[in-house]
Amino acid sequence: MNALCDITDRGAYANLRVKQLTASLPEREANQAAALVYHTLDHLLTIDYYLSHFVKGSQKPVVRGVLRLGVCELLYFSTPTHAAVSESVSLIREIGKPALAGFVNAVLRSIDRARDSLPAFPSDPVQRLSIQYSYPEWIVIEWVARFGADDTESLLSRPAAAIEVRAQYPYTTEQLQKELPVASAVNRWDNNSLSLSGGFDLASNPLFLEGKFTVMGESAMLACRTLGDMSNKRVLDACAAPGGKSAYLASLSNNRIDLTCFELHAHRKELLDKTLSRLHVIADIYEKDAAEFDSQYENAFDGVLIDAPCSGLGLLGDKPDIRYSKSDDDITALVQIQQKILHTCSRYVKPGGVLVYATCTISRRENEEQVKSFLEVHKDYQLDKIPIPIENNGELQLLPHIHGTDGFYIARMIRCR
């Protein structure tokens, strides 16, 4: 309950808080606790909608957290009713609210009795999609305006993504498939990308520790491929942490690459250092703001990759806490940061070189409009077809329900000679 409240009410990152929660638990209990927190987050608005019909007035965050977890167990797990209710009643007592034990019991029993006749969702399309799939209305409004209600529903209802991994050169995909402890399948667009059939403790796996493979989504891999062949060339990864893209650029070139990495934040640079060290990648790594121009890098690189800080709306299925931590105003602020990074790093590309702009989001303001605005100002750049097996005209919005990837935007631009 404390972990859930830290995420929903105090801004904690779900992955870090859940890792902290499960660190001292036995494996089975850890898996159950993580699943309960993530399922509650994934269905948060739906759960709150149901609770609003059974609870009058607002509740303190800790009480609301207990009820949310209880409803999640009742409706989305196979936990027997008596066990789910008993656990919630015990939890409210443990947090020092024994007087509310009867209240929690009554609310959950009422919802359980009404599970076959729960309140219908609103008839308004945006409100229905928001509550049914637990996405804030501002996101639904933007996507419905762009894709229409039917495609938006397909996007919102996409199944959870499998864990994706890739080999790191000189280890091969074929070797990795043979040695992994679970079965895997080669993904659709990048034949170095594997989807795992199930989970295992990746971080302690000998192959992982030896730097023979890493976890990486296929869409991020495609962003690296968008640069083209960078063998024996000088390349900048401008927003490099946690390091997966930098490492894949090295792997694609068989380590024949002159690689420079920028990362603004010290703690993330430490993560970048560790990732590249584990994967045996040699690079010049700097704690540096990609938005601040440095004349020593002007016209210095054959290729520049900008995986810009963004709203992360393409990862909502895997990181449900992002839905509730971002707002429409956040997009406006991010656009300004992205614009500055894009304008600054464009000056680092040699004439004839390649500039790739990428985000893990589905947002015209951060993506298509950002690139359009850039090209209107920088007449020495033009879109160039992305060298991947998906039809494109130099820019591409990957969509989970269409491409089977994370929601990722990629644009490839050439600096004219």
Q: How far apart are CA 203 and CA 226, in angstroms?
A: 29
3-state SS record for 235-291? EEECCCCCCHHHHHHHHHCCCCCEEEEEECCHHHHHHHHHHHHHCCCCCEEEECCCC
Place of tokens 């209710």: 85
Place of tokens 């894709």: 147
Q: How many helices (H) and strands (E) does the chain have?
A: 19, 12
How many whole angstroms from its chain centre is CA 96? 36
Determine which one of 72, 239, 261, 360 is catalytic: 360
Q: Residue 310 catalytic?
A: no
DSSP, res 99 = G
Q: Which residues of 375-389 are buried (b: 16+ CB within 10 A; e: fewer)?
A: beebeebebbebebe
Name the residue type at position 332.
T
> Residues 327, 303: contact at Cβ < 8 Å?
no
3-state SS record for 290-303? CCCCCHHHCCCEEE
> Residues 182, 207: contact at Cβ < 8 Å?
no
Q: How far apart are CA 259 and CA 54, in angstroms?
A: 58
Half-sphere exposure of 279 (CA within 13 A, CB side): 29
Contacts of 28 (CB under 8 A, 6+ apart): none
Q: How far apart are CA 386 and CA 342, in angstroms?
A: 18
Active-site residue set: 360
